[in-house]
Amino acid sequence: MSGGAKGCLVGFVVLLAILAFGWWGFRGETTTLRSRLTLVVETPEGERSGSSVSQLTILAPGRLNRAIGFSSLSTTGEQGEAVVVDLGARGVLFATLADERALRSGGSGMYNAARVPFPQTKFHGEVGEGIWAKDDYTAYLEELNRRKPRAELPFADLPVLVRFRDLSDPSSVVQVSASDLAGSFGPGVRLQRAFVEITDDPPTTGIEARLPWLITRITSSRSLIPPPPGLQLLSEATTAELLILDNFRRRFP
């Protein structure tokens, strides 16, 4: 190879390295977190349980972006589906992917079961130093993935719980109280415990077997219950009226 050709090759490699470093420095790091939410229900017929694994993929800002003052996080992927607890002849309990407080404020993000029991203050992780320093949130997510914690989840921090009077009819959805399952499923039925754990297991699939209309309905943002005429404010709607298909199955991107 001639000297000129070698010089061009070296220059090309250097250019690629600069571009790669710039991309890495500005774009940041992508981290995936998977959490399993499990519900255990006591019934006169015995204990019933169900669980589901959800996945969040989060992009933290690159080091160069942080250096010039940009530090916002973004969610680049959400996957998961509602927890299903089959109570036999009594019906089916669903723990949706919707946080009621976020739902009522117009939020559309997926519920994250790990948010409450695994705070960043407790699982802060190793940030490092200099140019290799991680974003604080990235270090936190990596620490969760490393330690795989498991903890009880207070019922007040559960997502929206529902049942359907008719599983084939999405508009028959009814909100269920975590503290009063008996009111929806009959005497002797109560939520015994809920817990969340970080896992490497893949996101749960197959809820369409329970809710076939998830396949036939195309628009994921469409409400399960048609809004009543004249509804203007979120505060005027029931929680069930705010639920959409994405609250039962999330596939983004």
Which has more confidence, 206 or 26? 206
Q: Among the residues of 152-246, which ranges form H helices?
A: 182-185, 213-216, 239-242
Q: Could you tell me the strand order of the sheet in which 83-86 lies?
A: 83-86, 92-95, 161-164, 173-176
Q: Which of 211, 163, 204, 194 is nearest to 42 (CA)?
A: 194
Strand segments, DSSP code E, in the chain are 30-43, 46-59, 74-81, 83-86, 92-95, 150-152, 161-164, 173-176, 190-198, 249-252
- pLDDT band at 133, cuts 50/70/90? low
Residue 65 in this model has a pLDDT that exceeds 50: no
Is the separation of the CB atoms in 161 and 175 below 8 Å? Answer: yes
User: What φ, ψ does residue 162 adopt, rounded to 5°?
Assistant: -145, 170
Q: What local confidence, expressed as pLDDT, does residue 28 receive?
A: 60
pLDDT value for 70: 44
Q: Which residue has the higher pLDDT, 231 or 47?
A: 47
Q: Pairing between strand 161-164 and 92-95? A: antiparallel
Q: What is the model's pLDDT at position 196?
A: 98
Least reliable range by pLDDT among 58-72, 104-118, 124-138, 202-216:
58-72
* Cα angle: 109, vertex 223, 159; to 5 degrees: 45
Least confident piece of the model among 105-114, 191-200, 223-232:
223-232
* Helix/strand/coil for 50: strand
Name the H helices within the chain: 3-27, 63-67, 100-104, 136-147, 182-185, 213-216, 239-242
**70 within 8 A of 59, measured Cβ to Cβ:** no
Omega before residue 119 within 30° of 0, cis: no
Question: What's residue 131's pLDDT?
Answer: 55
Amino acid, single-letter form, for residue 141: L
Predicted confidence at residue 73, as pLDDT, reads 60
Average pLDDT over all residues of the chain: 83
Q: What is the mean pLDDT of residues 235-253?
A: 87
pLDDT of res. 225: 85
Amino acid letter at 213?
Answer: W
Percent of the chain with pLDDT over 70: 75
CA 220 to mean position of chain CA atoms: 16
Q: What is the pLDDT of residue 58?
A: 86
Neighbours of 208 (CB within 10 A): 14
For 172-197, how does the pLDDT look when each residue is reduced to its tens digit (9 = 90+)? 999 999 999 999 999 999 999 999 99
Judge contact between 149 and 198, C-beta under 8 A: yes
Q: Between 15 and 176, whose confidence is greater?
A: 176
Higher pLDDT, residue 177 or 61: 177
Average confidence (pLDDT) over 195-205: 97
The sign of the CA dihedral 192, 148, 80, 203 is negative
